[in-house]
Amino acid sequence: MNPLMFIKKLFSRPNRIVLLAALLLLLTPLLKPVTIERNVYTFQIGFDISQSMNVADVRTNGELATRLDYAKTMAAGLLQSLPCGSHVGWSVFTGRRTLTLLTPLEVCAHYDGLVSSLASVSGSMRWNNGSSIGKGIHQIMRAADEFSAPASIIFMTDGQEAPPLEQGQRGVPNTDKFEVSGMLVGVGGSKPVPIPKTDPAGNPIGFWSATDVVQRVTAGSRIGGEELSKRDDERLTSLARLTNLEFVVLDSVDNLVSEAKSDSFAARRDTLTDIRWIPASLALLLLLWHFLPRYVDITAVQRRINVSRQTQ
Amino acid sequence: MNLPELFQLDFGLPWVLLLLPLALTPLFERQRDSIGIPSLVWLPADTLGQTLRKVGTCVAAVCLATLIIALAQPGTSKNYIERIGRGAELSVLMDRSASMDAEVRRHQLKPGEQARPSVSKNQVVKEALSWLVNTRPDNRYALTLFNVSAIPVAPFSDDEALILAGLAASGIGRGPNKTNMGLALVSAIEQFDGRSYSGSRAILLVSDGGARLDDTTQQQIRAGLTRNNISLYFIYIQSSANSPDLETVGPDAEDVVEEIALHQFFQQLGTEYRVFQANDPESMKEAVQEIDQQQNLPLAYLEQIPRVDYSRWFYIAAAICCLVLAVLTTIRVHRL
């Protein structure tokens, strides 16, 4: 076959599509990632590790889990779904203090480290019993305000105050001076249940009884019920209002992810983005179109052949 | 890319693989190629043509499959190279109680020396340890804070940014009162349990106080350090001029002061122990530098290399398949 004939056949009409796809595919590996401005997020996530978080009254995948484990599962899910370039750090709260464990780290490069650090968050870290949640929220917001880059906070708690607040007490120092947005995430069931008691080594030793805990007193009469715990939506709503945070109740990871990925927590940042999929999927479409079985009206083809014979 | 690595392929966008059945489309007969011929009986069997056609179909299917795999971003992410470096496995056990938020005691100003801004003990420790992590990234670090409880922040990892973030966090806010050093030490020792021995191991205890440990705890600590072959470095941050000088106290010193009691217990351990006393950023840095020199033995470690992306090779393979397809169509054998 002479070369001219070969080239003519090579570039015949149906072949052109295949050759165009080949060209696109050869160009694809040469494409460098481009910088595109995308939404990224920075969250300092705080866990309430006080004793009431040991209550197992939430379900994940059909199994009962403690509130703390549930909160950790949610945080792990969020960590997984945040886009690269986002940052996450951990804090723990009990008693009257929030301790920052890790300042925010980039979620893709330090994913393994963040996961292993999250795994070690547990009730055994507890340095104090009781929970003055308002103080804890104030401290995580102050910490986030100190970070070199702006961060939003996510604070996961059941809202159980111990000792309980007296009527008219705010229970939270003023947070207006912190330029920190965020979410207060309610964890726990809506029915009051007993709180497991643990010894300093973390072993279960029954439940807290009514006489063990400080009870609320109003106008001289005891109200009681502080030895039981539920997700205190009323308290959480008022805390959220006082601290300008959003109050959300967790019922799934997706729920948390969609709340967290709202524009109010997003920052626009240049991120390197791989764009090789664009020419590659164009090539795929061309090839599929080329190979797709299709019905051709054979009689029409024959008619065309006949016409061309007649004209010859 | 050798064979074992191929089996560890993972995909950046695994869902794209759901498109793989589309690679079968070329196997369906295409009517476009058919010509209406009333009878084929008179035609000789074109075996070569049939084979070429089958080859073409296979190449087309392979082409689509490789292209779909390429789009799913194949690569290997768990790539480790074993390296021998110099360094140690250092578990940093850092006092995070309220007393560490107080300012360090400065040495007496010499005549003509300018007073310097005050820094908290916490800050001094944080800076010295961050320096260590930055200059010795080959070391493997773990970080545990302690007060009444042990607060593991970062288990042993090769990600030094994790330790740096933990150290940065330790300087934020105030710590709770009271400490329980015994519990913290036991917990730091347990971090080594079950880890394969890859080089020298040390616990870096940083505190401004001491502790009187009960017999059970003492035994646990002694047994744990021996079992795991761990050296112990105690960086003692002196709080005031009244803080005892641990290096000059003799074995007969009164152990009424907690720091002395702790120091004497540590000295009786069968394992390596050293005390460093720091009272300003300089002496703290000297202590850390000396520990660094001590812990500079060969250390086997696995270095993780970033994810290797193989999609480019799949794109090139798909492109080559396309070219082969185009060439195949030009072949017409006239042999009648």
- At B175-195, the pLDDT tens digits run 888 888 899 999 999 989 888
Once rounded to an integer, what is the mean pLDDT over residues B271-297? 83
Name the residue among A6, A277, A294 with its Cβ closest to that of B71.
A277
What per-residue confidence (pLDDT) applies to B336?
A: 43
Q: Which position has the token pair 């997700």?
A: A231
What contacts B46, CB < 8 A, 6 or more positions away? none
**Chain A residue with minimal CA distance to B21?**
A288
More confident residue, B213 or B78: B213
The torsion angles phi and psi of A225, rounded to 5 degrees, stand at 90, 5
- At B105-160, the pLDDT tens digits run 666 666 666 666 677 888 888 988 999 899 888 888 999 999 888 999 999 887 88
Q: What is the mean pLDDT of chain A?
A: 86
Residues in A touching B173 (Cβ below 8 Å): 97-100, 139, 142-143
Residue B153 in tokens? 């922040």
Residue A111 in tokens? 């994913």
Grouping H, G, I as helix, E, B as strand and the rest as coil, residue B231 is: strand
Q: Which residue type sits at B40?
A: L
Q: How many CB atoms lie within 10 A of CB A200?
A: 11
With CB atoms and an 8 Å threshold, state whether A99 touches B168: no
Show me where the domains of chain A are located.
35-270
Sheet-wide strand order for B10-11: B10-11, B74-76, B308-309
Window from A136-150, B65-79, B100-114 with minimum mean pLDDT: B100-114
- Report whether B241 contacts B105 (CB < 8 A): yes
pLDDT confidence band for B328 (50 / 70 / 90): confident
The torsion angles phi and psi of A99, rounded to 5 degrees, stand at -105, 135
**Chain A residue with minimal CA distance to B163?**
A102
**Alpha-carbon dihedral B326, B328, B330, B331, rounded to 10 degrees:** 180
What per-residue confidence (pLDDT) applies to B158?
A: 79
Show me where the domains of chain B are located.
3-29+45-77+307-330, 81-105+118-303
Name the residue among B31, B148, B319 with its Cβ closest to that of A26.
B319
**Whether the predicted interface score ipTM is above 0.85:** no
Residue among B53, B67, B145, B191 with most chain A CBs within 10 A, to mutate: B67
What per-residue confidence (pLDDT) applies to B112?
A: 67
Chain A / chain B CB contacts < 8 angstroms:
173
- Report whether B273 contacts B266 (CB < 8 A): yes
Name the residue among B67, B169, B325 with its Cβ closest to that of A100.
B169
Once rounded to an integer, what is the mean pLDDT over residues A107-126? 91
Q: Does A109 touch chain B (CB under 8 A)?
A: yes
Grouping H, G, I as helix, E, B as strand and the rest as coil, residue A46 is: strand
Fold of A35-270: Rossmann fold (3.40.50)
Task: Name which of A27, A17, A18 is nearest A276 in CA terms.
Answer: A27
Closest Cα in chain A, distance from residue B247 (Å):
32
Grouping H, G, I as helix, E, B as strand and the rest as coil, residue A248 is: strand
- At A171-189, the pLDDT tens digits run 888 888 898 999 999 998 8
What per-residue confidence (pLDDT) applies to A119?
A: 93
Residue B33: pLDDT over 60 = no
- At A142-151, the pLDDT tens digits run 999 998 888 9
To 5 degrees, how large is the angle CA B44–CA B46–CA B50?
Answer: 150
pLDDT confidence band for A15 (50 / 70 / 90): confident
pLDDT confidence band for B335 (50 / 70 / 90): very low
Residue B242: pLDDT over 70 = no
What per-residue confidence (pLDDT) applies to A250?
A: 76
Once rounded to an integer, what is the mean pLDDT over residues A205-219? 71
Name the residue among B96, B155, B176 with its Cβ closest to that of A120.
B155
Q: Does B7 touch chain A (CB under 8 A)?
A: no
Residue among B92, B151, B312 with most chain A CBs within 10 A, to mutate: B151
Task: Give percent of chain A with pLDDT exceeding 90.
Answer: 42
Residues pairing with A248 in the sheet = A185
Length of chain A: 312
Task: Name which of A139, A143, A137 is nearest A238 in CA terms.
Answer: A137
- Report whether B252 contacts B284 (CB < 8 A): no
* DSSP secondary structure code for residue A33 in this structure: P
pLDDT confidence band for A293 (50 / 70 / 90): confident
With CB atoms and an 8 Å threshold, state whether B322 touches A29: no
Closest Cα in chain A, distance from residue B251 (Å):
34
**Chain A residue with minimal CA distance to B152?**
A120
Give CA–CA dist B296/B199, Å, rounded.
Answer: 10
Grouping H, G, I as helix, E, B as strand and the rest as coil, residue B280 is: coil
Domain B81-105+118-303: give its CATH superfamily: von Willebrand factor, type A domain (3.40.50.410)
pTM, whole model, 2 decimals? 0.78
Give CA–CA dist B332/A21, Å, rounded.
Answer: 23
What per-residue confidence (pLDDT) applies to A222?
A: 54
Give CA–CA dist A97/A125, Å, rounded.
Answer: 12
- Report whether A99 contacts A63 (CB < 8 A): no
